[in-house]
């Protein structure tokens, strides 16, 4: 009988906690979705500055590519903002990669990550992320620990080679998706 009373109390407490969590989720779901939409929009404008509007394309996810947005200005396609989620040291790194219609990487913007503060988290800093701007895509990008000597090299973040390689893998996958599915503005 005593166990039954304890189990009933536990059931009631768990039910109340579940109801409170459900209510909190309902209240915060819309503001979180709006904030994510705003962050995506800002990232797309940053990585494809010539584009005036973005249209989300219907795609089937392929590899780490989960979303593609066509950037247009005056009905001309300027490029694509491709969202990828490569696996970093501590989990997925969600980022946007801008690829122009001439096949150059226009830039990257990391939207979210769980990398180590002071190490992998430095991937969001311009000293690292700006290395991808205006990179030609004729050869895959590769991470090096020494100073860069070739156009297709990216210098790793000190002490965070795994994160550096993950970001570069995401960029390479976005470029490969562009080449195989979108090249030259042809969908």
Mean pLDDT of all residues in the chain?
A: 89
In a domain, 70, yes or no: yes
For residue 6, being part of any structural domain is answered with no
CA dist., res. 154 & res. 145, Å (int): 9
Determine the Cα angle at 175 with ends 171 and 181, to 5°. 140
Domain count, the chain: 1
Give CA–CA dist 36/183, Å, rounded.
28
Task: Look up the domain containing 140 and give its range.
Answer: 45-185
Would you say 89 and 167 are in contact if contact means Cβ atoms under 8 Å apart? no
The pLDDT-based confidence of 185 (bands split at 50, 70, 90) is very low
Encode pLDDT of 110-167 as tens digits.
999 988 887 888 888 999 999 999 888 888 899 999 998 888 889 889 888 899 999 9
The alpha carbon of 30 is separated from its chain's Cα centroid by a whole number of angstroms, namely 21
- Whether the Cβ atoms of residue 142 and residue 168 lie closer than 8 Å to each other: yes
pLDDT at 62: 86
pLDDT, residue 106, reads: 94
> Is position 78 within any domain?
yes
Percent of the chain scored above 70 by pLDDT? 98
Q: Which of 102, 112, 43, 95 has the alpha carbon at shortest distance from 78?
A: 102
Structural domain contains residue 131: yes
Asked whether residue 5 is assigned to any structural domain, the reply reads no
DSSP bridge partners of 99: 80, 105
**141 found inside a domain:** yes
pTM over 0.85: no
């Amino acid at each position: 009988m005593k166990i039954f009373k304890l189990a009933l109390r536990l059931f009631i407490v768990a039910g109340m906690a579940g109801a409170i969590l459900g209510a909190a989720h309902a209240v915060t779901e819309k503001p979180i979705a709006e904030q994510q939409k705003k962050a995506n929009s800002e990232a797309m404008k940053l990585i494809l500055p010539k584009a005036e509007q973005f249209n989300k394309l219907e795609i089937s996810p392929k590899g780490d590519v989960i979303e593609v947005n066509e950037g247009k200005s005056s009905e001309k396609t300027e490029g694509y903002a491709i969202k990828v989620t490569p696996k970093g040291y501590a989990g997925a790194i969600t980022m946007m990669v801008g690829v122009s219609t001439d096949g150059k990487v226009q830039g990257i913007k990391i939207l979210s990550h769980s990398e180590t503060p002071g190490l992998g988290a430095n991937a969001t800093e311009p000293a690292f992320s700006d290395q991808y701007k205006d990179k030609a895509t004729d050869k895959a990008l590769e991470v090096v620990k020494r100073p860069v000597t070739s156009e297709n090299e990216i210098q790793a973040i000190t002490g965070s080679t795994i994160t550096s390689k993950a970001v570069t893998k995401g960029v390479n996958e976005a470029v490969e998706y562009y080449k195989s599915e979108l090249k030259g503005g042809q969908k």
